[in-house]
Amino acid sequence: MSDPHRESILDQFTRQAGPFSISPGIRDEAALAMVVEFSGAGPADTVLDVACGPGILACAFARVARHVTGIDITPAMLDRARALQRELDLENITWQQGDVTPLPYYAAAFSIVISRFAFHHFLNPGAVLREMVRVCTPAGHVVVVDSAPARDKADAFNRMEKLRDPSHVRAMPVEELRTLFAAAGLPAPRETTYRLEGELEGLLARSFPGPGDADTIRAMFVDSVGSDALDVAARRMSGTIRYGYPVAIMASRKT
């Protein structure tokens, strides 16, 4: 991670640690259950959650897997993760502070290696995926969950997201994620998609855009109602603007 990007990530995620950890979309139990089930996790699995943030997914995996490791670069996020682990009384999780390239683990150390809502923050997502493959056991699962806008709307989506979160790099359409999996030597992934539902003002309250950018984002959402130019399913409802971010879950078994 280059230093300016690392600083941006640390700045954004130190500020986001509180709001992010209580975000309804991020804590969505149904979505968490879907990710855990899609990953095929069971009692024999050892799981690595790459860029684990406040540990919500790691804790969901810990309920079914033998052991979960969460790694993140932002100490404030790891503080949240540990608090959640204590709240849920889960003992089979360990946390490390670290970067994603290189990951500080031996090859083939985990049977499931997953990353959720992080790939759009990586300057070199291909390198991160290759690291995830390296630390995954043969026949283990490599899973990526991320915003995945339609190809023809990805530029608009990414412009909006970069305003909302200056540490955003680029969310990739599903087609690009498939290419990334192939380039990392993985078989074609199983895929499913869902919409991460929420309300615009709540989203902005949990975000830290630059001065004046919140109004620009509001205008982009309003323009997207009807046209869906942002691919966020923006619609007016009871005086608010609701959205559904496009999310893809892609899982491949390492050969």
Q: What distance in Å separates the CA atoms of residue 69 and residue 78, rounded to the nearest whole number?
A: 12
* Amino acid residing at 112: I
Q: Provide the mask over 4-43, with x wherever binding to other proteins is found by CB under 8 A and - wherever it is not.
A: ----------------------------------------
User: Which member of 18, 22, 94, 151 binds other proteins (CB under 8 A)?
Assistant: 94
**Under the criterion CB under 8 A, does residue 132 sit at the interface with other proteins?**
no
The CA–CA distances, whole Å, from 244 to 44, 58, 97, 154, 232 equal 34, 23, 31, 15, 5
**Under the criterion CB under 8 A, does residue 98 sit at the interface with other proteins?**
yes
**Under the criterion CB under 8 A, does residue 99 sit at the interface with other proteins?**
yes
- Find tokens 């390239």 and name the residue: 101
Site for other proteins, residues 53 to 82, rule: CB under 8 A = 67, 69, 71, 73, 75, 78, 82
Neighbours of 234 (CB within 10 A): 21
Nearer to other proteins, 86 or 239 (CB): 86
Helix (H) / strand (E) containing 14: helix 3-21
Q: Least distance in Å: CB of 97 to other proteins?
A: 5
Q: Least distance in Å: CB of 206 to other proteins?
A: 25
- Name the DSSP class of 65: S
Q: Taking CA 168 as the corner, what is the angle to CA 213 and CA 201, rounded to the nearest 5 degrees?
A: 45
Nearer to other proteins, 142 or 156 (CB): 142
Contact residues: other proteins, CB under 8 A: 46, 67, 69, 71, 73, 75, 78, 82, 94-99, 102-107, 109-110
